[in-house]
Structure 1
Amino acid sequence: MTVLASLLSRADNTPLDQRRRDPNTLLDQEGKAIADPADPSQKLALGGDPNTGYEKWAEYWRKVHGPRFIYAQDTEEGKIRHLARYDQVHRISAGPTHFTPPPYVAPTDANGELYDTVIGHIPEYRRPDWDGMAYLAFNTPDDLKAVFSQEKLRTKIVPEDQAIFRELAPVVATEHIILPSATQRDPILLVKIHRRQEGMSREEFQEDWLRKHANLVLAKPAAHKYVKRYVQLHNMGPVSEGEPFWHPASSGIDGITIMAFANMNDVEDFLMTDDYSEIEKDERRIADPKASEYWTGLNYNVVNRVYPEHATIR
């Protein structure tokens, strides 16, 4: 299948020197682009209390934007049937990331004792680049084009995207299902974004990743114990500026791993196994760890016309 995996960050007031933005995003309450999001006089379109900004954005994306996207589909011409699957993946800050993998440890002094107070000893929070991912699957590239050629998406959804997102980096990919999901209702996803090692071509990376690395994962008992779904998304999108779906952040991504789990504890347990250590070591053989990243998200299935799911022939 063809997947449009759009990595995204929410509209917020983070200064531009701390987080990127797309041109024409971060709209104010009059629909105009905010020049400096850190300027307290500028009010984001979503508005509201900044203390609950993340909660409001997550609620809006799931409960309002998702239904609006579906409502905008042309039912008379059957365009909605071209969308095989639509998932929203909301990053969870308490889940594992490449910055803070398990096991988690308590901060201690030089003698291994707990500090008397946490004041002055609170670890710095390091935020991944992305707050989530929109995962849209299509049977063919033509189906993708049919959906995104609709006038209503251009006039109704794109302006909304500009108001609620800070950055949208689409990855047009070929989906390879290594381990199919039995239920397609797996709630927790580990999302790993890969950029190849220097000296490899994208084709060489993807071939090795699909053959050697996937076989290594399948050979590990921990993968079958914990992982409910394992998918590789191979970037086949544009590499030149100006082409449809080109984005400077996503054009350098070679692939995305998606692993699904029944609960957050299973993700943490999996990442602490010896099997995963070997998987990660092999990953570093083909993917640059300094340029790659991972985080954990809560998955919401909005549309699904794919059932049952089967492994892709490799």
Structure 2
Amino acid sequence: MPTDFDRTDNQHRPPLGATRASSPRPLIVTPTFVSRVDDTARGERPQDAGASKSRHGHEVHFPNWRPHALALEGDPNLAYEHWDEYWRKVHGPKFAWDEPGSSSAAVLRYDQVHRVASGPSSSFPPPYRAMVGGDGRLPSDPEKHVPAYRRPRWDGFAYIAYADEADIERTLGQEKFDKRIVADEQVAFRMVTREITREYILVPSARHRDPVSLVMIHMRAPGMSREVFQHRLLREHAPLVLGQPGTRELVRRYAQLHNIGSTQKDPEGSRIDAVSVLSFASLNDVEDYLVGADYPAIAASLAALEGEGSEWWTAINYSVINRLAPEVATELP
């Protein structure tokens, strides 16, 4: 018996969904960074007004005091797994589905990029070494030597691409998105950003099915304007990245997203000057790239450009919508 694909996001990407030729023009991307609903205190992780909904539809103002009230998951032991599942398997299809009177046709690509703690990050980069004591042996009391976990600011991002900036309002202004998708976000996320970026694809993906991404959130160094930072990131740093043997061997896709504004007041997203997304075939390829002989030059180039608040981490990619194939490199201005 054939599978019933009614209301599934399979209809919005290959092999079921139709595609059209890509353009070398830069696309407009809303890289919506998200933090998940959980029982973290508000002082440790900000929370959007109206987010972290209870089962009665009200904001849970102090989720650390009342985690059981959260609509998504009341058991803190299951909160991460339930959130990860909900975002991909429930929220994604809701976003893609064209309910009566609505259309997501202007969304050319929608990828969910889920951060994974086991992947490399700026707070715990590779190589990973065996822990030893002064005697050169593994500790016999490991319970006393557990490294602290330093959580990145974001748990992932929705990588949503449009042909033009006007298509954002044309899509998100529909009742489905304005009333029901936003309501769903308030169940799953405690904070979302709303920045608008211009996408520069420097290494196009062969199939746009690359499973792993290295996500770099860039905040410019003090004294540097956003315009200068973005110019140097694209015109100086990108050629350096592209010229490295490790990039040619391991990187399946490389794109830069340059912040050009916001869809609404966005105190967190407005601080992000650009985002780099490098995609790989496996988590081990990310590790090998970061410990390769040519990566120190890349890191030094970034260090000269970035300021406080920059971070990077590894994520798993899920393609929810993809109407473009094959992908092509962007013609640079």
The question of a shared fold, defined as TM-score above 0.5 by the shorter chain, is answered with: yes
Q: How far, CA to CA, are the matches of 1:183 and 1:87 in structure 2? A: 13
Q: Which amino acid aligns with 2:267?
A: P
RMSD in angstroms over aligned alpha carbons? 1.4
Structure 2: which 5+ runs fail to align?
Answer: 1-26
Provide Cα deviations, 1:18-47, integer angstroms capped at 9, x if missing partner. 211111111111111112111147510113
Aligned length: 306
C-alpha contact 1:170 1:247 (8 A) present in aligned 2: yes
Task: Report % sequence identity.
Answer: 42
TM-score normalized by the length of structure 1: 0.94
C-alpha contact 2:35 2:156 (8 A) present in aligned 1: yes
Match of 1:241 in 2: none
C-alpha contact 1:26 1:164 (8 A) present in aligned 2: yes
Q: Which amino acid aligns with 1:57?
A: W
Match of 2:8 in 1: none
Alignment of 1:14-29 (within 5 A): 14-29=40-55
TM-score normalized by the length of structure 2: 0.89
Match of 1:282 in 2: 301
C-alpha contact 2:230 2:258 (8 A) present in aligned 1: yes
- Structure 1 residues 115-124 or 38-47, which shifts more? 38-47
C-alpha contact 2:60 2:66 (8 A) present in aligned 1: no
Match of 2:150 in 1: 126
Residue 308, structure 1, aligned to residue 332, structure 2: no
Residues 222 and 120 of structure 1: is their aligned pair in 2 closer, same or farther, counting only changes over 3 Å?
same
Q: Which amino acid aligns with 1:299?
A: N
Residue 31, structure 1, aligned to residue 57, structure 2: yes
Q: Which amino acid aligns with 2:28?
A: T
> Aligned-pair distance for 1:198?
1.0
> Aligned-pair distance for 1:76?
5.6
C-alpha contact 2:53 2:60 (8 A) present in aligned 1: yes
C-alpha contact 1:34 1:42 (8 A) present in aligned 2: no
Q: How far, CA to CA, are the matches of 1:48 and 1:183 in structure 2? A: 39
Residue 167, structure 1, aligned to residue 194, structure 2: no
Residues 74 and 42 of structure 1: is their aligned pair in 2 closer, same or farther, counting only changes over 3 Å?
closer
Provide Cα deviations, 1:138-190, integer angstroms capped at 9, x if missing partner. 01111112111101111211111111101101221000001101111000000
Alignment of 1:1-314 (within 5 A): 1-40=27-66, 42-71=68-97, 73=98, 79-238=103-262, 244-288=263-307, 290-314=308-332
Provide Cα deviations, 1:118-151, integer angstroms capped at 9, x if missing partner. 1111111111111110010001111112111101
> Aligned-pair distance for 1:48?
4.3
Provide Cα deviations, 1:169-222, integer angstroms capped at 9, x if missing partner. 122100000110111100000000000111111000011111111111111111
Q: How far, CA to CA, are the matches of 2:43 and 2:132 in structure 1? A: 32
C-alpha contact 1:74 1:80 (8 A) present in aligned 2: no
Q: How far, CA to CA, are the matches of 2:78 and 2:157 in structure 1? A: 21
Q: How far, CA to CA, are the matches of 2:294 and 2:145 in structure 1? A: 33
Q: How far, CA to CA, are the matches of 1:70 and 1:41 in structure 2? A: 30
